[in-house]
């Protein structure tokens, strides 16, 4: 057993932490969130130049990392700084699927992703599917050399910026059949494709995506026909490690802000941190933070385990972090009093990041349910 | 002991329902459900409608245009209003200042201000908290110095709810800096139009503007705007806080909130079934409902004692804590029910007239509402301060 980060990962962590503390302060972030694109192209390419995206891919895919702990290190730092740029969507989900399923021509896009020149978005979940992975009503119908896509996709994060959408669609089977799902690379200008974009409450943007008879060549298919689900599951497992680590980072910052505030805010002639009613609750936050850290380690370390065991660990982590994150966000606000409720004070952003993470790729209850199912198996 | 409404009470309830049916437009109801979109005119319109019906001031004596309703009637009224998605009546004039003036103000002050509260001519806001004085309110520093027949006021208030709509503010100010903190405070009525008053918005974490900072720079306030005696303001402030906390249990809001969550969870599908039938979600919902059923009865027990002349002390602190925790739990359930559709931020751009909402009808505002209602356990005396009160009364501070 060894819980130390490798030298390389520690360096990555240091570089990233230094860069973000120099270049990504709250004023910068607020300006980014107020801008219509909801992200900064400048920050994006600077971080790509630092190797942040490359760290998320293995050497054969053109990167220098790509393991669970690489993802965890990067996203914990992004989370600590409250970064809203869509690294998870472009690199982990989009890039991950290209790397796993792409043919040579499709994989050529990976270099552009790693260099920060191409955005991607996964258009998978649908208005009626909530968090269910295999529930895909969008259809893909072969017509000669082409495939025609029809359906609707919900809350597609980063859709507007994406150079390609990765769209899941059903080629056969019932709506919740695990088999029969394929993935397609769809360019944003395609006829019949419409995006309705909007900002997200925790930063970044998403869109409702409608496909009305969108024709793509059969060569736009990623991987074998009807066999997309296993790759999707794996990509979402990696995304869940990223999301859990990011949330852990945001929790660290929230707890640190709270610690500083308890020491500096005075009421009744003493620091509020001297009230035992708050001391015990602060101690509980520290305990839950360490629990969350371990949950991320468990999940990141099992990313290459067989699918069911991997996902059981992933769901354990997301369930625990859903609970611990809620406690940290709510208690941090509460122990700050009114200040914790204001847009201007940093905590607001971190609380929103933490809570809203519970609305992607399954919430606390969804993961509890999956954990129970996979434990029984 | 009888948990059923009497025939008179049922008749009253029907009367309230009929009034709400007739008066509340769909537009207003939708805005109330859709968090934070009520305009000043909307609030004034509802205020005027209640006033026209004579139902604006449930607790005030008839002499001053009130209803003199008993606890059960007030409960019925609040619950029916909440269930019908009626706007909340802005409390600062009606439930805070009004009772203070009636108890401690002069006859002239009552005659001058009470009718203007009812008519809506005056919109009051509450100037208690300061940057350095929140839970420790008695440490407030806004200074009022008597000069002839005026006070000169300097200092700053903060968190002033709806101050940007108000034309008057009631303030706690320090008139004797040498006395013990609680003994040098006075209760002053200040015109927001006075030269030297400046108001600046504070934006909350859900992007809404409901609170403000208010600055006083050599503001001249006539001496007749003092309520009661100089340096006795703390007593009046505590009396007001007691009134602020009645109705704090928010039973009606919680019932309306639960109904909304149930509606959302019935429509939301989880693995091909309504989310409402999912055991994990159903258990969460049932747990809150069970708590609410008991709390509703606790509330009625306490309110009816208060009506019988027993002052609610520790009990109102209990209700404040339990009531706010339940409301916050319901907000949490609503955001869970919305699933991925809790993520879109319903900013102004999205509220275009002909644009359909993003996702299911009720989902839009739930995340913002969840964040916004974290305030419930902070203001009106934080839940920690309420626990301190309970413990101090029951344990005597451990001494
Ligand atoms: C949305 C909103 C609207 C408001 N509207 C108004 C208004 O209209 N008018 C007005 O005057 N005020 C208003 N307030 C202010 C509100 O009353 C204060 O926020 C509240 O009194 C808490 O003060 P504070 O924010 O300074 O927190 P602090 O007093 O600094 O408290 C910080 C934390 O320390 C805890 N704490 C403090 N003392 C103790 C203790 N002795 N033991 C244990 N814990 C303790 C608190 O509970 C809290 O968790 C509003 C606040 C909000 C958030």
CATH of domain B249-395: 1.20.140.10
pLDDT at B350: 46
Q: How far is CA A7 from the centre of its chain?
A: 25
Q: Which of B201, B203, B205, B284 to mutate to test the interface with A (most CBs of A within 10 A)?
A: B205
SS3 A218: helix
d(CA A336, CA A345): 10
Beta bridge mates, A227: A181
| Secondary structure element (H or E) that encloses residue B263, with its range | helix B251-267
Q: Which residue, B56, B38, B40, is CA-closest to B48?
A: B56
Burial letters for B341-352: b for 16+ Cβ neighbours within 10 Å, e otherwise?
bbbbbbeeeeee
Contact between residue B231 and residue B184 where contact means Cβ atoms under 8 Å apart: yes
Q: How far is ligand 1, taken at its centre, from the CA of residue B375, in Å?
A: 9
Beta bridge mates, B168: B124, B191
d(CA A256, CA B48): 48
- Token pair listed for A285: 């936050």
What pLDDT, in 10s, does the model give residues B278-307?
Answer: 999 999 999 999 999 999 999 888 877 766
**A139 φ/ψ angles, rounded to the nearest 5 degrees:** -110, 150
Query: pTM, whole model, 2 decimals?
Result: 0.96
Does the interface ipTM go beyond 0.90?
A: yes
Query: Beta strands of chain B (E only): which ranges?
Result: 124-127, 143-147, 150-158, 168-174, 185-191, 197-203, 209-222, 226-227, 269-270, 273-274
Residue B79 is among the residues annotated as catalytic for this protein: no
Contact between residue B390 and residue B318 where contact means Cβ atoms under 8 Å apart: yes
Residue limits of CATH 1.10.540.10 in chain B? 7-101
Chain B contact present for A338, CB below 8 A: yes
Burial letters for B114-125: b for 16+ Cβ neighbours within 10 Å, e otherwise?
bebbbebebbbb
pLDDT at B310: 60
Going by CA atoms, what residue is nearest to atom 24 of ligand 1?
B134
pLDDT at B349: 46
Kindly report each contact of residues A291-298 with a partner whose C-beta sits within 8 Å and lies 24 or more positions away, as own/partner. Answer: A291/A320, A291/A324, A292/A244, A292/A247, A292/A248, A292/A251, A292/A320, A292/A321, A292/A324, A292/A325, A293/A248, A295/A244, A295/A320, A295/A321, A296/A72, A296/A76, A296/A241, A296/A244, A296/A245, A296/A248, A296/A321, A297/A3, A297/A72
Residues of chain B scoring pLDDT < 50: 349-353
Tell me the shortest Cα–Cα distance from A111 to chain B, in angstroms.
31
Tell me the shortest Cα–Cα distance from A73 to chain B, in angstroms.
25
Is A7-114 a CATH 1.10.540.10 domain?
yes
Residue limits of CATH 1.20.140.10 in chain B? 249-395
Burial of A251 (0-12, 13-18, 19+ CB in 10 A): buried
How many CA atoms does the CB half-sphere of B361 hold within 13 Å? 9
Residue A137 CB neighbours (<10 A): 15
Closest residue, chain A, to B160 (C-alpha): A338
Q: What is the mean pLDDT of chain A?
A: 97
Q: Which residue, A5, A130, A127, A129, is CA-closest to A72?
A: A5
Tell me the shortest Cα–Cα distance from B373 to chain A, in angstroms.
9
Report the residue count for chain A.
377
Handedness of CA B171, B177, B181, B182 (dihedral sign): negative
d(CA A62, CA A54): 7
* A 142-201 residues with CB < 8 A to B: 154-155, 176, 196, 198-201
CATH of domain B123-231: 2.40.110.10
Q: What is the mean pLDDT of chain B?
A: 92
Chain B contact present for A295, CB below 8 A: no
Q: Which residue, A67, A69, A70, A87, is CA-closest to A78?
A: A87
| Helix axes of B7-23 and B40-53: crossing angle, nearest 10 degrees | 140
What pLDDT, in 10s, does the model give residues B184-239?
Answer: 999 999 999 999 999 999 999 999 999 999 999 999 999 999 999 999 999 999 88
> What DSSP line would sit under B129-179, residue for residue?
-BTTBSSSGGG---EEEEETTEEEEEEEEE--TTGGG-SEEEEEEES-TTS
Residues of chain A scoring pLDDT < 50: none
Give the architecture (CATH level 2) of B7-101. Orthogonal Bundle (1.10)
Alpha-carbon separation of residue A54 from A50, A96, A102, A194 (angstroms): 9, 12, 18, 31
The single-letter DSSP state of residue A54 is G
d(CA B253, CA A193): 42
Dihedral angle at the C-alpha atoms of A238, A241, A243, A245, nearest 10 degrees? -140
> What DSSP line would sit under A141-158, residue for residue?
EEETTEEEEEEEEEEEET
d(CA B378, CA A336): 9
d(CA A231, CA B153): 68
pLDDT at B299: 87
Beta bridge mates, B221: B151
Say whether B378 and A128 touch across the interface (CB within 8 A): no
Mutate to test the pocket of ligand 1, among B135, B140, B238 (most ligand atoms within 8 A of CB): B135
Closest residue, chain B, to A332 (C-alpha): B374
- Cβ neighbours of residue B72 under 8 Å, at least 6 residues apart? B5, B9, B300, B304
Chain B contact present for A360, CB below 8 A: yes
Ligand 1-lining residues (CB < 6 angstroms):
A 265, 267-268, 272, 275, 277-278, 334-335, 337-338, 341; B 126-129, 134-135, 159-161, 211, 375, 378-379, 382, 384-385, 388
Domain locations in chain A? 7-114, 120-226, 230-376
Residue limits of CATH 2.40.110.10 in chain B? 123-231
Domain at A120-226, CATH homologous superfamily: Butyryl-CoA Dehydrogenase, subunit A, domain 2 (2.40.110.10)
Alpha-carbon separation of residue B362 from A139, B186, B335, B366 (angstroms): 28, 46, 10, 7
SS3 B212: strand
Instruction: Kindly calculate the radius of gyration of chain B based on its CA atoms and give it in whole angstroms.
Output: 22
CATH topology (fold) of A230-376: Butyryl-CoA Dehydrogenase, subunit A; domain 3 (1.20.140)
- Token pair listed for A316: 């354990």
Contact between residue B326 and residue B288 where contact means Cβ atoms under 8 Å apart: yes
């Amino acid at each position: 057993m060894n819980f130390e980060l490798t030298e390389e990962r520690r360096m990555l962590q240091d570089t990233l932490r230094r860069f973000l503390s120099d270049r990504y302060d709250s004023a910068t972030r607020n300006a980014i969130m107020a801008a219509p694109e909801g992200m900064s192209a400048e920050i994006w390419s600077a971080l790509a130049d630092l190797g942040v995206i490359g760290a998320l891919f293995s050497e054969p895919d053109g990167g220098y990392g790509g393991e669970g702990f690489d993802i965890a290190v990067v996203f914990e730092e992004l989370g600590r700084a409250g970064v809203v740029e869509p690294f998870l969507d472009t690199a982990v989900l989009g890039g991950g699927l290209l790397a796993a399923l792409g043919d040579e021509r499709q994989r050529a896009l990976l270099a552009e992703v790693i260099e920060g020149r191409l955005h991607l978005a996964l258009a998978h979940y649908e208005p009626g599917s909530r968090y269910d992975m295999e529930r895909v009503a969008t259809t893909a119908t072969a017509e000669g050399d082409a495939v025609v896509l029809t359906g609707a996709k919900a809350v597609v994060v980063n859709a507007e910026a994406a150079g390609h959408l990765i769209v899941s669609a059903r080629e056969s089977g019932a709506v919740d059949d695990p088999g029969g799902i394929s993935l397609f690379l769809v360019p944003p200008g395609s006829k019949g494709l419409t995006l309705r974009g909007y900002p997200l409450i925790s930063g970044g943007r998403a869109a409702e995506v409608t496909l009305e008879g969108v024709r793509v060549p059969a060569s736009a298919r990623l991987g074998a026909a009807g066999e997309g689900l296993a790759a999707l599951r794996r990509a979402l497992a990696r995304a869940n490690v990223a999301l859990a680590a990011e949330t852990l980072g945001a929790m660290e910052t929230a707890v640190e802000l709270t610690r500083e505030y308890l020491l500096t805010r005075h009421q009744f002639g003493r620091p509020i941190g001297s009230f035992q009613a708050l001391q015990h609750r602060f101690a509980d936050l520290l305990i839950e933070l360490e629990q969350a850290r371990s949950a991320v380690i468990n999940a990141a370390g099992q990313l290459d385990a067989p699918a069911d065991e991997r996902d059981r660990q992933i769901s354990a982590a997301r369930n625990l972090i859903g609970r611990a994150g809620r406690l940290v966000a709510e208690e941090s606000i509460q122990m700050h009093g009114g200040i914790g409720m204001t847009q201007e004070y940093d905590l607001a952003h971190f609380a929103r990041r933490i809570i809203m993470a519970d609305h992607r790729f399954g919430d606390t209850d969804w993961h509890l349910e999956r954990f129970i199912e996979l434990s029984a198996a | 002991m009888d948990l059923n409404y009497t025939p008179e009470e049922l008749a009253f309830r029907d009367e309230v329902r009929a009034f709400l049916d007739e008066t509340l437009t769909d537009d207003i109801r939708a805005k109330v459900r859709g968090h934070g979109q009520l305009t000043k005119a909307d609030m004034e319109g509802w205020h005027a409608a209640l006033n026209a019906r004579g139902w604006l001031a449930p607790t005030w004596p008839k002499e001053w245009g009130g209803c003199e309703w008993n606890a059960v009637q007030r409960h019925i009224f609040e619950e029916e209003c909440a269930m019908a998605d009626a706007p909340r009546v802005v409390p600062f004039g009606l439930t805070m200042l009004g009772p203070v003036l009636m108890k401690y103000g002069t006859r002239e002050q009552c005659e001058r201000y009470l009718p203007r509260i009812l008519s809506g001519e005056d919109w009051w806001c509450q100037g208690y908290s300061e940057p350095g004085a929140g839970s420790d309110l008695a440490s407030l520093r806004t200074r009022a110095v008597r000069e002839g027949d005026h006070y000169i006021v300097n200092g700053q208030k903060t968190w002033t709810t709806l101050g940007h709509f108000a034309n008057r503010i009631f303030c706690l100010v320090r008139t004797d800096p040498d006395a013990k903190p609680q003994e040098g405070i006075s209760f002053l009525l200040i015109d927001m139009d006075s030269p030297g008053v400046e108001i600046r918005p504070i934006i909350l974490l859900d992007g809404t503007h409901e609170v403000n900072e208010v600055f006083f720079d050599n503001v001249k306030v006539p001496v007749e705007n003092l309520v009661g005696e100089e340096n006795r303001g703390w007593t009046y402030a505590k009396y007001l806080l007691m009134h602020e906390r009645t109705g704090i249990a928010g039973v009606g809001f919680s019932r309306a909130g639960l109904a909304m969550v149930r509606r959302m969870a019935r429509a939301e599908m989880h693995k091909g079934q309504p989310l409402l039938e999912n055991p994990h979600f159903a258990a969460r919902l049932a747990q809150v409902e069970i708590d609410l059923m008991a709390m509703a009865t606790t509330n009625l027990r306490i309110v009816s004692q208060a009506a019988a002349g027993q002052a609610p002390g520790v009990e109102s602190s209990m209700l404040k804590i339990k009531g706010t925790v339940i409301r916050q739990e319901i907000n949490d359930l609503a955001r869970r029910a919305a699933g991925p559709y809790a993520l879109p931020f319903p900013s102004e751009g999205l509220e275009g007239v002909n644009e359909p909402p993003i996702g299911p009808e009720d989902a839009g505002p739930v995340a913002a509402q969840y964040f916004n209602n974290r305030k419930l356990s902070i203001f009106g005396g934080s839940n920690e301060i309420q626990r301190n009160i309970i413990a101090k009364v029951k344990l005597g501070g451990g001494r």
